[in-house]
Structure 1
Amino acid sequence: MDSGIEIKVMNPRRGDNLVHPVGVGHATSASSAPLSSTSSPLPDERGLRQQQQQEQGLRQGQQRQGLIDFKPLKKWVPWIVPGFVLANIVVFVITMFINDCPKNSVSCVAGFLGRFSFQPLKENPLLGPSSSTLETMGALEVSKVVHRHQAWRLISCIWLHAGVFHILANMLSLVFIGIGLEQEFGFVRIGLVYLIAGFGGSLMSSLFIQTGISVGASGALFGLLGSMLSELITNWTIYANKLAALLTLILIIVINLAMGILPHVDNFAHIGGFLSGFLLGFVFLIRPQFGYVSEKHVPPGYIAASRKPKHKPYQYVLWVISLILLIVGYTVGLVLLLRGVNLNDHCSWCHYMSCIPTSLWSCKSQQAYCESIQYGNQLNLTCISNGKSNIYTLSGERPSQAQQLCSNLCG
């Protein structure tokens, strides 16, 4: 047996026994000679290591390309929705300050709040200001929009609320719905959906309900719900569990719209806001289709695995159709409103969309009309509808007090 033969096993892998002779003579099995760990790598070993490095680099490149293909969508920091909530609360506080119930009413609820106390529950069961104060602040009143050209009320009314319960319900809904949408799509698009849908709700309400006043952000909130539905439809390819998400969202929308058939709820504002938001979702909330990779996200030297177009053809079709319907609908609606058209005259059953009469309630609007006789600071009121009469003592000049007292007497 030659003594000049040394057997080395370098970097063995499963299934491979690599034997490299370094001396002159014959190679024997790896187990029959001592192993050396101090010898320098030979050319074959360097080639093996280079091959391993290339394979590792290829795997890293594939993993990196996979990260490009499945890059998560950007998350926005929400601020416009909290800003809307804050603005609504501030406007409500200002409204209550201007209302000044102790000065303009005989009795108030929560009198310890001073001028921020609420109107009597018979007049406003939602714990809020009087109707005349809401009218002064910009509530939607069709006669003033049509005859006094105060179209700004179509926007101002969505920032007003009839009471504490009203604003609490709307703001909780806005936070629940709006925060997630703003995180996904940003403040610009969600802010536009909110404002435009709110305007659409006011417009539809004005075409069907032309007596009394209307306030609230419900139309804008239903616009956000409608945009969620259209967003799910137009971005169908990027969602998992599509059917479950669709059915859940439809159920929520149906329940909320069904609540609008109760009396004293402006369901036309809900429907108008929902339809506006549904169309706006196709315009503003469109996403790239699944598998699309933007060129700016591809590092130098890499080739995107897919060259798919950014949007599918049906997304473009829905975008164009929705934009046309929005422009035509808003234009026609404004023209009809400013001409004083009442759509109930052309649709005998449409009023059931806002209120369905039952044995528990009536959908007929009850206007308060009173005969008044005043002697000095004594005001004698008689309600025409129920015949009730009462004498009130007035102190100071209160232009809206007689109307409020009449509402209480007839109520």
Structure 2
Amino acid sequence: MSVYGFQDILSGPFAQYLQLSAKIGGDVAQQAEFVNKAFNAQLAFIQLASTSSQPTQTQLPNLLKPTSDQISAIQEFREKHRTSPFFNHLSAISESVPALGWVCVSPTPGPHVKEMNDAGQFYTNRVLKDWKEKDATHVEWARSWVQTLSELQQYIKQHHTTGLVWAGKTAPPSGPAAPPPPPPPVLPPVGDMSLNADGSDDGRSALFAQINRGEDITKGLKRVTAEMQTHKNPGLRTGPAPFKAPTASPVAPGAKPVETAKAPVFNRDGKKWLIEYQKNNRDLVVDGAEMNNVVYVFKCENSTINVKGKINSIFLDSCKKCAVVFDTVVSSIEFVNCQSVQMQVLGHVPTISIDKTDGCQMYLSEKSKNVEIISSKSSEMNVLLPKGTAGDFTEHPIPEQFKTTVNGNGGLSTICVESLG
């Protein structure tokens, strides 16, 4: 799962970064060749970790040498091309590519990637500001790179939360498992990525003039569909070679990807309960789970999941019109890319996380009134608090609109406001 998850990054936003780098050409394309080698070297290292035991401190530098060599090459390329018209592009990559060093960080490698992403933000913002009116390809290029590192952080959170997992029993080799593969052939130019005819870019073009947009610059990226993800589609695993990043099949402009029917899944894989592609099933029950178990629900529709007992966490990804009822969660319940979902906690839940979700109803218990709800890029969120003992609830919407002003100290003040629409 760890290897396939990293391959999804390579075939998703990173593949788009390579395409756009080739389209821009020049120094940007040359530097992208080093970046491609660095990411493939890291893929080889992750593959090694999935089959080997943890190496000694003397072995580790040799195993990491292919990655570190490419990072050095990326940074040296930038220093040798300070007069390049694309110096901001080169600097954005040079400042943030040390994010690949997360494999040496513990116990919290995820924040290291975010720190490196932030370090390159000064230059990605310059690219956005300088090229917004000239060529939207450069805007998409910056977005794809930031999205690559953002998804790397999420990948670490899911698979290597407290540090790189060495999952095998055999001793690792004294040197690198294999040299990084050669760079892929130059991909054909991507389609037209210009802004809308009115220059609005979906009504948000004014934001590009601001320097500190943070993670908002990733909004325009297209997500990789489940059909393109190797850990969700075993049919894409075409061979044992783990170092070749799969590329998505070309899709005609304006065409929608064909949704293929998937067999429903309900099984337990170690500590993870996998519930996938269930449709119109109201009788899904997770019984016998332990406190360190995780329930992962993916792309289910019109279904209800009942989780009994105390469990570590629940994760709903890309679900539609689904409901989950559970007793107690130790860590959190998360909703990502969902539509019209509901949850009800009968015991205690400390944290509810909602990301890129439209429509989320949260029924709380008396024991869960101190819950923390973290939401981003979501709408139509309502919290229902118990009222009395008759099973009634009081509904409270979560604010979606905010007002920010500059205060007298030169900082920002943000408050919630009621929508007038």
TM-score, reference length from structure 1: 0.22
**Higher-RCO chain (CA-CA 8 Å, sequence separation at least 6):** 1
Larger Rg: 1
Structure ranking higher in helix proportion: 1
- Report the structure, 1 or 2, having the larger strand content: 2
Give the TM-score of the pair, scaled to structure 2: 0.22
